[in-house]
Amino acid sequence: MTQQDSEIVVLTGAGISAESGLATFRSTDGLWNNHKVEDVATVEAFQRNPEYVHEFYNEMKPELLQAKPNPAHLCLTKLQQAFPGKVNIITQNIDTLHEKAGSTNVWHIHGQINQAVCLNCGHILETWSDVTTETVCPRCEIAGMMKPNIVFFGENLLYMDKVDRLLNRCGLFISVGTSGVVFPAAAFVQIAKQAGAETCEFNLERTSNNFYFDRHFFGPAGTTLPRFVDELIAARK
């Protein structure tokens, strides 16, 4: 396979949704600003106080439901349409802005806000409505076993077999709007680079993963990414 027709992997983080009005995690006004991470995003927190954790994610739903994709999300759909089947998006985001932008092959490795998983039978419930400790699983019909389908600290990521295959065979790895501090996603660039991919980073600033990127594009992704995508499409066609 030549560089021209090689596969592309795009890893996205909270920064790609910042221009859609959604707070990132580690900015000063970040998503957890009024909450301790240990109280809302760990397995222990959910075991200790499931009501509180459900409430935290239920409160987030209306904003995420209403949010609209920005030019960075939209240009990735354009990239997928230009190279059908060759572009996969691995997202750490629990919002659904890639899907709203029309993207396919989106792998939500940290889960989705509009899903809950039954800890009894594994059923995935798709819903934008509130999920509580009283919610009944529509499959096994047991109440009180639904957990937000969000990957907490200490839990395994979703779709990792697929992700490993994609990282090891892509020719181009693009990271957009992620600080690179949460593992294992922070190590994806290293895996792709060691497998031979060219690596590009889009961020407002240098990240701790600086070393593994061949090229950096500093600035808001809604401006820098569409320009890059247009050039990539023109160069490969």
User: What amino acid positions are annotated as catalytic residues?
Assistant: 110
Given a contact cutoff of 8 angstroms between Cβ atoms, the answer to whether 184 and 163 are in contact is: no
Single residue of 20, 24, 77, 80 touching ligand BJW by CB under 6 A: 24
Q: How far is the CB of 127 from ligand BJW (least distance, A)?
A: 17
Can you say whether the dihedral through the CA atoms of 75, 80, 190, 1 is positive or negative?
negative
Q: Which helix (H) or strand (E) holds 166?
A: helix 160-169
Q: Does 181 bind ligand BJW (CB under 6 A)?
A: yes
Can you say whether the dihedral through the CA atoms of 36, 41, 45, 51 is positive or negative?
positive
The CB-side HSE value for 190 (13 A sphere, CA atoms) comes to 10
CA-to-CA distance for 138 and 101, rounded, in angstroms?
29
Nearest residue relative to ligand BJW (C-beta) = 15
CA-to-CA distance for 194 and 36, rounded, in angstroms?
36
Nearest residue (CB) to ligand BJW, 145 versus 157: 157
Q: How far is the CB of 106 from ligand BJW (least distance, A)?
A: 14
Q: Does 204 bind ligand BJW (CB under 6 A)?
A: yes
Name the one range near ligand BJW by CB under 6 A: 78-86, 126-134, 149-157, 188-196. Answer: 149-157
Q: Does 205 bind ligand BJW (CB under 6 A)?
A: yes
At residue 23, φ and ψ (nearest 5 deg) are -70, 145
Q: Does 159 bind ligand BJW (CB under 6 A)?
A: no
Q: Does 135 bind ligand BJW (CB under 6 A)?
A: no
Name the one range near ligand BJW by CB under 6 A: 77-85, 100-108, 155-163, 166-174. Answer: 155-163
Classified as helix, coil or strand, 121 is: coil
Q: Does 55 bind ligand BJW (CB under 6 A)?
A: no
Integer angstrom CA distances of residue 118 from 142, 158, 222:
9, 15, 36
Site residues for ligand BJW per CB under 6 A: 13-15, 18-19, 24-26, 41, 92, 94, 110, 150-151, 153-157, 177-179, 181-184, 202-205, 207, 220-221
